[in-house]
Amino acid sequence: MAGTPAARGLDDDAAVLELGSETLVLTHDTIVEGVHVREADNLADIAWKLVAVNLSDLAAKGAEPVGVLVSHMLGEDDDGFIAGLEEVLQTYNVPLLGGDTVSAKGRRVWGCTAIGRATATPVPDRRGARPGDAIFVTGTIGQAMLGFEGAAKFAQAYLRPEPLLAAGQALAPLVSAMMDVSDGLLLDADRMARASNTTFALAGSSIPVADASRFADCIRWGDDYQLLFTAAPETDLPVEATRIGRVHEKSGQSLLLDGTSPGENRPLGYQH
């Protein structure tokens, strides 16, 4: 199943398809009411998030957006959804190429497919981390968690994440592996380490978090949509990022935090 090289073994953020002289990057995400967003969330914010999380996957591949296709489950405040959709598409200058609307009962579900054009080849992959590489992350981890819990300062971090398209494009020629942090820093670091058949050793004191008193929660909660990447330690980075660890040859554990496994007593992050 999904044996084509474009699928990358279903072990990456997106499919990478070589088509003539172009390399296309394709990704699809689904949002479910009550699972990925709260039932009380404004539909304008849901529309924004639906598109933004897909653009974030393109950012992790260093891709330039070509367009999106959106599916929308009809219900209350459809006008709000349309308004939010128009806003996010205009903000990132992304055309709507098509999609579908459906009417059904139960939890509302929305889907988005984003299509991008690679700006650097080879396109960054989760599988490329090499022993000796440094591990970096952009931004601050845990802001979306605090926004979800009601901290006004971080409300937009949860409701309207910002895909780091320019940063991803700048990093793409320099990184050995890259992905966006959607399900928690620890879980996504573990996924990248496993995909690369390496061990990621993280230094807790180096990880930038929004609330140091809740460090363990910040690095597990997710919805940050920052970029997690590996590169040679001497790389002159074109964007602001924090070095949080080092890649080692594969040992007994794929992920270490301050020398021990962080997943023995609680989950690493959000599991679908």
Q: Please state the rounded mean pLDDT for residues 55-81.
A: 97
- Which residues, listed in sequence order, are joined to residue 113 by a DSSP beta bridge? 28, 69
pLDDT at 62 over 60: yes
Q: What is the pLDDT of residue 202?
A: 98
CATH superfamily of 126-257: PurM-like C-terminal domain (3.90.650.10)
- In this prediction, residue 11 has a pLDDT band, given cuts at 50, 70 and 90, of low
Cis amide linkage into residue 122, ω under 30° from 0 = yes
- pTM of the shown model: 0.94
CATH number of 5-118: 3.30.1330.10
Q: What is the pLDDT of residue 4?
A: 56
Nearest to 66 by CA among 24, 8, 121: 24
Q: Is 208 exposed, middle or buried (0-12, 13-18, 19+ CB in 10 A)?
A: middle
Q: What is the pLDDT of residue 265?
A: 72
Q: What is the pLDDT of residue 21?
A: 87
The CATH 3.30.1330.10 domain(s) of the chain lie at 5-118
pLDDT at 7 over 60: no
pLDDT tens-digit readout, 144-160:
999 999 999 999 999 99
- Give CA–CA dist 235/224, Å, rounded: 24
Q: What is the pLDDT of residue 71?
A: 97
pLDDT at 73 over 90: yes
Q: Please state the rounded mean pLDDT for residues 37-56.
A: 96
Q: Please state the rounded mean pLDDT for residues 219-240.
A: 97
Q: Are 256 and 190 in contact (CB under 8 A)?
A: no
The H-assigned helical ranges of the chain are: 43-60, 78-91, 143-148, 155-159, 165-171, 185-196, 215-221
Give CA separation, 210 vs 142, 146, 147, 216, 251, in Å: 5, 8, 11, 11, 31
- Give CA–CA dist 72/101, Å, rounded: 5
pLDDT at 77 over 60: yes
Q: Please state the rounded mean pLDDT for residues 8-20.
A: 77
Mean pLDDT, rounded, of the chain: 94
- Give CA–CA dist 153/163, Å, rounded: 19
pLDDT tens-digit readout, 169-218:
999 999 999 999 999 999 999 999 999 999 999 999 999 999 999 999 99
Q: Are 219 and 207 in contact (CB under 8 A)?
A: yes
Q: Are 149 and 192 in contact (CB under 8 A)?
A: no
Q: What is the pLDDT of residue 264?
A: 73
Q: What is the pLDDT of residue 3?
A: 56
The CATH 3.90.650.10 domain(s) of the chain lie at 126-257
Q: What is the pLDDT of residue 1?
A: 47
